[in-house]
Amino acid sequence: MNLSATLPIPYIAPMHENANDPADAPAALTYPFSSAPPPGQALAVAQGVMWLRMPLPVAGLNHINVWALEDGAGWTLIDTGMQTADTATHWQSAFAGALQRRPVMRVICTHMHPDHIGMAGWLTRHYDCRLWTTRLEYVTCRMLVADTGREAPLDGLRFYRAAGWDEDALEHYRARFGGFGKAVYTLPDSYRRVVDAEQLAIGGRTWHAVVGRGHSPEHLCLHCPELAVLISGDQVLPRITSNVSVFPTEPDANPLAEWLESLAAIQERVPDDVLVLPSHNEPFRGLHARLTALITGHERRLARLQELLAAPKRAVDLFGVLFRRGVSLDMLGMATGESIAHLNCLIGRNLAARELDAAGVAWYRRR
Ligand SMILES: [Zn+2]
């Protein structure tokens, strides 16, 4: 089953890979593992921590990393892959092989994007175990899945028209609306809530919940001081940057401010010497250098945007500053969301203002 034709957006922005920009180059990151495990196989990356990879049918991003933690007689899984027939096959091979037919005790999801939570319902039903995640991730996922089968709402059309979309782009949005649910197996009807700073006992070790915001509403990272390991989800990625977007459901949100606060908080709470296990790319060392690079990258883009707003601009006029690649129709929602996230952050700092014209298009200028 190839879902790429129906997926709305990949929720990650491979458009601004930093490798080609010396100003963005992550200083001093090291990658201790020379190769990733093929789908269906597993590689031990710390004591009792296995690395698995699932393919993604998404342009520009072909995999997600998931993790299996030894937990008594079985496994606690962290993230699950997107709902596809391929992902199910690879899980089955992994259980029959590297995971030694031991049962899944629970499934923890870092956040509600389909590549992370997509197979949670399938796994928890098969093993009769629970989904653990934060409340906003669970509830938001239920909300987005419930959009499947609905028509694109007026609020959404108004939002993207205000951003500067033309009729072709709006038609694309209408046609794709509700696609989120197609990539997510029916969620469990109940879950176990995890809260920030909670300590989870997994396989005799303590893992600390570190909640971040901005990429998703209440993103869960897990830090094990004893192992010096941080499972970072999409909150910290080494080679690409996570999408930080404003969506039509909350047009005045300021997720970039939340994102920057979260990155700074992780720098306070998690020591630099951890092995970071991210959801995309490879495990790495150099957490604090990466956090600093992410923060300064966004600050530089904010400053550049503010300069450009000397003359009024629409959200779609700013892609050149934000993204290194051209923005295809498939990426337009994510790119627009990220552009508005930067603009709303400038407005939040009182550095920009927004005005609607007679056609309902929003123009931003510096102040
Ligand atoms: Zn994500």
**Confidence band for 24, pLDDT divided at 50, 70 and 90:** low
Q: Above 60 in pLDDT, residue 184? A: yes
Query: From the CA of 144, how far away is ligand 1's center (Å)?
Result: 14
The rounded Å distance from CA 234 to ligand 1 centre is 5
In angstroms, what is the span from residue 233 Cα to ligand 1's centroid? 8
- Rounded to the nearest 10 degrees, the angle between the axes of helix 287-308 and helix 332-348 is 80
> Distance, CA 161 to ligand 1 centroid (Å)?
25
Amino acid making up residue 309: L
What is the arithmetic mean of pLDDT over 248-262?
A: 98
What separation in Å is there between the alpha carbon of 13 and the centre of ligand 1? Answer: 10
The chain-wide mean pLDDT, for the chain, equals 93
Helix ranges restricted to H, 194-286: 255-269
Ligand 1 centroid – CA 68 distance (Å) = 19
Give the residue-averaged pLDDT of 322-335.
89
89 Cα–ligand 1 center, Å: 23
The answer to whether 184 and 121 are in contact (CB under 8 A) is: yes
Q: For residue 58, what pLDDT band results from cuts at 50, 70 and 90?
A: confident
Please check the confidence at residue 10 and state whether its pLDDT lies above 50.
no
Q: Distance of CA 53 to CAs 9, 31, 35, 88, Å? A: 20, 16, 11, 12
Other Cβ atoms within 10 Å of 110 Cβ, number: 27
Cα-Cα-Cα-Cα torsion 144, 148, 154, 156, nearest 10 degrees, comes to: 40
Count H helices, E strands: the chain?
10, 16
25 pLDDT band (50/70/90 cuts)? low
pLDDT tens-place string over residues 66-116: 999 999 999 999 999 999 999 999 999 999 999 999 999 999 999 999 999
Task: Give distance in angstroms: CA of 366 to centre of ligand 1.
Answer: 31
Distance 367 CA to ligand 1 centre (A): 33
Residue 15 is predicted with a pLDDT of 45
pTM of this prediction exceeds 0.85: yes
Residue 207 has pLDDT above 70, yes or no: yes
Span from the CA of 91 to the centroid of ligand 1 (angstroms) = 20
Ligand 1 centroid from CA 357, angstroms: 34
Gap from CA of 113 to ligand 1 centroid (Å): 5
How far, in Å, CA of 36 to CA of 62, rounded?
A: 13
Residue 145: closest CA among 109, 168, 106, 179 = 179
Measured in whole angstroms, the distance separating CA 313 from the mean position of its chain's CA atoms is 28
pLDDT over threshold 50, residue 16: no
- Where does the chain show beta strands of DSSP type E? 12-13, 43-46, 49-58, 61-71, 74-78, 104-108, 130-133, 192-193, 199-202, 205-212, 219-224, 229-233, 241-242, 275-278, 352-356, 362-366
Q: Give distance in angstroms: CA of 2 to centre of ligand 1.
A: 20
Q: How far is the CA of 359 from the centre of ligand 1 (A)?
A: 34
